[in-house]
Structure 1
Amino acid sequence: MSSAQNLAEKPKYKRVVLKLSGEVLRCSETGDPISWDTLRKICNQVKEIHQLGVQVCIVIGGGNIFRGLSGSTDQGVDRTTGDYMGMLSTVINGLAFMECLEKMGVQTRVQTSIPMNQVAEPFILRRAIRHLEKNRVVIFVAGTGNPYFSTDTTAALRASEIEAEVIMKATKVDGIYDKDPMKFDDAVRYDKLSYIDALQQRLNILDSTAFSLCMDNEVPILVFSLNDSDSIKRAIVGEDVGTLVS
């Protein structure tokens, strides 16, 4: 590989939290909660940035299996019970990621906020950091361990705790727009935004608790599309991908 290629692939970030919606795993054709093909494609991207020396943490939602808020609204499930069901859904997704990554030769550890010793390690901050230093991918599951908090908040909290350089939020669109690009052809994408601008324009980047955590602890948020096969790597090496809020 040429020196120019090596330079181009030098990571911009050393330690990141990758925030994924559980919905990205759903198989659109069959309706199955997990598309193994999609899972492998995402894990391939994680492996690529891991091989660049990036310390990677993953926070995955559980909406492909059960979403607590909608369950309490649509199915009459008690909100607290629904949130715990949603947290357990993230554990299933986290184990799927672990299995896929391990088969690709990437050492992985799953840490849970709800004790379940036969399934995953308990979340212990110093242990999580040690795993990262030993070149292992760490997957945080079961949210914060408390109802009424989203996985957005989990990502913001864990990123603050481990001193991640950025939260990489993968979505269906390629950044943050001034209005819904799915509805308006003249929607304008931002390259960069300040926290204050995002608040003033009421842009729904993360939920309010998560956004406040990021702003208070100065954790940048990079919103980008997961649709491209190499979007995670391109974002890591500092290409013009998505929108950076800082």
Structure 2
Amino acid sequence: MSQDSPVAYKRVMLKISGEALMGDQGYGLHPPTVQRIAREIKSVHDLGVEICMVIGGGNIFRGLSGSAQGMERTTADYMGMLATVMNALGMQAALEDLGVFTRVISAIPMDQVCEPYIRRRAVRHLEKGRVCIFAAGTGNPYFTTDTAATLRASEMACEAIFKGTKVDGVYDKDPVKHDDAVRYDKVTYDEVLAKHLNVMDASAIALARDNSLPIIVFSLDEPGGFRTILRGEGTSTRVGG
């Protein structure tokens, strides 16, 4: 990326939930929605930004909810990890259909489907301009994809985590349910933890804080939102940094 690039970041992590891929459906992958998000990613990739991704699995299976229904927690979490691999493959297909070379890299080895996680190889993919989608969480139960995104972002030396949500930042309460909800322009890691703000889970926030890794929360539903936020424009909330 050239020095006069219109964006401030060379390498970023994009974290989105599995539910973001559902569209108006109540379950699974909605191809038009996946394609729309892929176009958002391509628009940033075209700026020369190196992109890592972590996608949740809640649109297919959520380990915690499976555990709550009586399933053994470790098994439920592994099922959730496999759901993230399915989402990653769907996003890879959409990106490559747009001409963006993409690698799905899994923390659980499944060589016929995707690559195993090897940090140096993943860094090399980024340097070659490939989008890297990290799947299967950290490979361990009891850890969320939020924590996986923060861990991989730290390992890949990303300059920020961009969390795409349905709202344009972090609010003091749910803006969908409360008309008087107030959005923060900037908030510290400790405030997120102390006020129980719904950004990422506590482990992810603590890891981001320990590595001075800023988290930018923005609306992925806004057309062109990812590219706009990368340019330092639009509405978002910055956590830490």
Change (3 A) 1:9 1:185: farther
1:77 CA displacement:
1.4
Q: Secondary structure at the match of 1:66?
A: coil
1:181 CA drift (Å) = 1.3
- In structure 2, C-alpha distance between the alignment counterparts of 1:185 and 1:165, rounded to whole Å: 34
Tell me how far apart the structure 2 counterparts of residues 43 and 156 of structure 1 sit (CA, whole Å): 21
Q: Give the 3-state SS of the residue equivalent to 1:164 in structure 2.
A: coil
Q: State the one-letter code of the partner of 1:141.
A: A
- 1:42 paired with 2:37, answer yes
Counterpart contact for 2:27–2:60, Cα < 8 Å: no
Deviation (angstroms), 1:9: 6.9
Residues 210-221 of structure 1: pairs in structure 2 closer than 5 A:
210-221=204-215
Counterpart residue number, 1:69:
64
Q: CA RMSD in A?
A: 1.6
Q: Please list every run of at least 4 consecutive aligned residues from structure 1 whose deviation after the TM superposition is greater than 3 angstroms.
A: none
Corresponding position: 1:204 with 2:198: yes
Give CA deviations for 1:194-216 in whole Å, capped at 9, x if unaligned.
22222232212110111110000
1:20 maps to what in 2?
16
Q: Conserved in 1, the CA contact under 8 Å of 2:193 and 2:202?
A: no
CA distance in 2, matches of 1:159, 1:205: 16
Residue 51 of structure 2: aligned partner = 56
For 1:134-213, list aligned pairs within 5 A: 134-213=128-207
Residue 53 of structure 1: SS of its match in structure 2? coil
* CA distance in 1 between partners of 2:192 and 2:81 (Å): 28
Q: Deviations over 1:188-240 (max 9, x none)?
A: 11111122222232212110111110000010001111111111001111113
TM-score of the superposition, structure 2-length normalised?
0.95
Mapped partners of 2:47, 2:31: distance in 1: 25
Give how far 1:8 is off. 10
User: Structure 1 residues 224, 204: closer, same or farther in 2, change over 3 A?
Assistant: same
1:158 alignment partner, SS class: helix
Report the secondary structure of 2:141's partner residue: coil
Letter in structure 2 aligned against 1:206? M
Tell whether the 8 Å contact from 1:27 to 1:33 is kept in structure 2 after alignment: no
2:109 corresponds, among 83, 104, 115, to 115
Gap regions ≥5 residues in structure 2: none
Question: Aligned partner of 1:180: which letter?
Answer: D
In 2: Cα distance, 1:142 partner to 1:195 partner: 26
Correspondence for 2:80 among 81, 86, 100? 86
Instruction: Tell me, yes or no, if the aligned pair for 2:189 and 2:206 is still in contact at 8 Å.
Output: no
Do 2:105 and 2:116's aligned partners in 1 also have CA atoms closer than 8 Å?
yes
Question: Identity rate of aligned residues, in percent?
Answer: 55
Matched, 1:103 2:77: no
**Post-superposition offset of 1:32:** 4.5
SS in 1 for 2:163: strand
> Partners of 1:45 and 1:172 in 2: how far apart?
15
**2:81–2:139 contact (8 Å) kept in structure 1:** yes
Residue type of the alignment partner of 1:15 = R
Query: Unaligned stretches of 5+ in structure 1?
Result: 1-6
